[in-house]
Amino acid sequence: MSQNRYLYTALLAAILIGTAFLRFYDLGHRTMHGDEANQAMKTGVLLEEGTYAYDPFEHHGPTLYYFSLPILWLNGVETVQEITEPMLRVLPALFGLALVLLSWLLVAPISRHAGLWAAGFAAISHGLTYYSRYYVQEISFVFFAAAIVWCGYHYLRTRKVGWALGSGVALGLLHATKETSLLVVIAMVAALACALAWEKLVARRSMSLALNWKHLAGTFAAAVLVSVVLFTSFFTHWRGALDSILTYSTYLGRAEGHGSSALHEQPWYYYLSLLAWTYRSAGPKWSEGLILGMAMLGAVWCFWRPLARNDHSNQSDPKKHDTALLQRFLVFYTLFLVVGFSIIPYKTPWNLLIFLHPLCLLAGLGAQRLVGASRRMPVRAILVALILVGSVQLTQQTWHGIFRYSADVRNPYVYAHTSTAIRRLTQRVADIAAVHPHGDKVHINVFRFDGDYWPLPWYFRAYPNVGYWPNIPESPDADIIITSPEVAPKLQPLLSGEYQIEMNGLRPGVLMPTFIKKELWEAFMAKRSTPTN
């Protein structure tokens, strides 16, 4: 192995080690988002009862739950009470690490050096890192989309059936992960058509796909098989396969901002503004502008003069044309995703990940082309140093985003997130349970009629006597009552006992008046004031 190859391998290893540290370190630091808690409880049902039924209206596809089971089994977990946040978040962290490796695998055939830059940008991207520590479907969804591109590219180069089947498996997993898979596949097909048209009409190169229809049939068969197996819960719930198709009518209405989805309606530039510049009156200024800028440079160069394969291809090398097609495909693919998701009124920060990752790939190409634009080594060294300085800023920003500001609304990726104040409430419930005659069987009633009480079911999963009520019953009394400021005045006259009232918080601006039976409160206070030896 040459000295350059040793250095290259060492740099890639360093990137992957840094990626693992950012994604796996202290996974329990952040409070559980309501969406995470919802997914976690569904995973708990699958773990305990072995059943899963796809819901075409909420929660997305089944891959997250089924892929979590091996991790829970390895930890010896048998009940939802034994599950911890780090156990759950290991899965997206693994996909986040694999995504960085896949970034290198996608770009290295074009340029090994650009592959390192692409992997590096994906490793330190604030958005990709933040949601790699989040128990939702997003990062695995991005990984499966990238896997389709990777397998598809290698199939077009080799025409080997294994790559065709790999594309099908990745496509089936993409569909079984999230409903927006349809938009992603449309963007892929449109991008491939545009890249081929460019090669023929502008670059004046005839590039026929010459698809083997048997291989193509195998791709779709593999996709359908994987999707059906998961949506039918391994052939135990056949309605799930039909619902996975019918669900698109529901999500079409949601995308248009109908009903409660209007709460998530944002202007067309929302995603670009999150990436380019975010400053919310106080705290740090956030930007992934380096990735955006390098990606735009990469996109321009992909059309002007694509990078030669591995930086030293001969003009007559036919594989150079394959990589030119891949580069232009990535540009069109990214553009279609950015435009497509931006014109949809329904927007949440995690939805931008599907195009943030290909932006990192283009940024790798842009950084390599910028550095290689000069033949003078001192100039190249200065350009590398400048990009690395910007990368340090990105890394520092990501570190603050996943720790200091992990649940702070000033972080652009914090969206309707549970306040750290939830820990005060959960500790208070534990304190009351400790002085209750029946311990964990303490009776808790939650009166929040809009259903806005998540992630309380996750934090209260060890208490068997918790009720989540859609209205006030005839006898609303309980050891602990949690409600909303709107309901509390109506509830209070109906209570028969005396209560101590505390104010707790679910999210910034979302308060939860908490009623604790007087005798339990006094027992707690007496225990707290008793000196310990």
- pLDDT, average across residues 361-382: 93
When the pLDDT of each residue in the chain is averaged and rounded to a whole number, the result is: 92
**Cβ(172)–Cβ(223) below 8 Å:** yes
Q: Name the least confident of 150-159, 207-216, 305-314.
A: 305-314
Predicted pLDDT of residue 285: 93
Cα–Cα nearest to 135, from 8, 20, 23, 233: 23
Q: Name the least confident of 164-173, 206-215, 315-324, 374-383.
A: 315-324
Q: Encode pLDDT of 473-487 as tens digits.
A: 989 999 999 999 999
Q: Encode pLDDT of 485-530 as tens digits.
A: 999 999 999 999 899 999 999 999 899 999 999 999 999 999 887 7
Sign of the Cα pseudo-torsion (378, 379, 382, 388, in order): negative
Band the pLDDT of 4: cuts 50, 70, 90. confident
What 3-state class would DSSP assign to 446? strand
Beta strand segments in 212-332, E: 278-280, 282-286
Q: Encode pLDDT of 85-103 as tens digits.
A: 999 999 999 999 999 999 9
- Using CB atoms within 10 Å of the CB of residue 430, give its burial: 0 to 12 exposed, 13 to 18 middle, 19+ buried: middle
Extract the tokens encoding 70.
């091996």
Count of CB atoms situated within 10 Å of the CB of 402: 25
- pLDDT, average across residues 404-432: 96
Predicted pLDDT of residue 312: 42
Q: CA–CA separation, 481 vs 514, rounded Å? A: 6
- Distance of alpha carbon 156 from the chain centroid: 29
- pLDDT, average across residues 134-160: 96
- Helices 34-49 & 63-74, crossing angle to 10 degrees? 70
Instruction: Calculate what percentage of the chain has a pLDDT beyond 90.
Output: 82
Q: Name the least confident of 19-23, 46-50, 365-369, 375-379.
A: 375-379
Q: CA–CA separation, 89 vs 24, rounded Å? A: 8
Q: Which residues pair with 480 in a beta bridge?
A: 444, 516
Q: CA–CA separation, 383 vs 117, rounded Å? A: 13
Predicted pLDDT of residue 315: 40
CA atoms within 13 A on the CB side of 30: 32
Count of CB atoms situated within 10 Å of the CB of 206: 9
Band the pLDDT of 140: cuts 50, 70, 90. very high
Q: CA–CA separation, 481 vs 494, rounded Å? A: 12
Q: Name the least confident of 48-62, 196-210, 439-453.
A: 196-210
Q: CA–CA separation, 425 vs 443, rounded Å? A: 15
* H/E stretch holding 483: strand 480-483
Strand 499-507 vs strand 510-517: parallel, antiparallel, or unpaired?
antiparallel
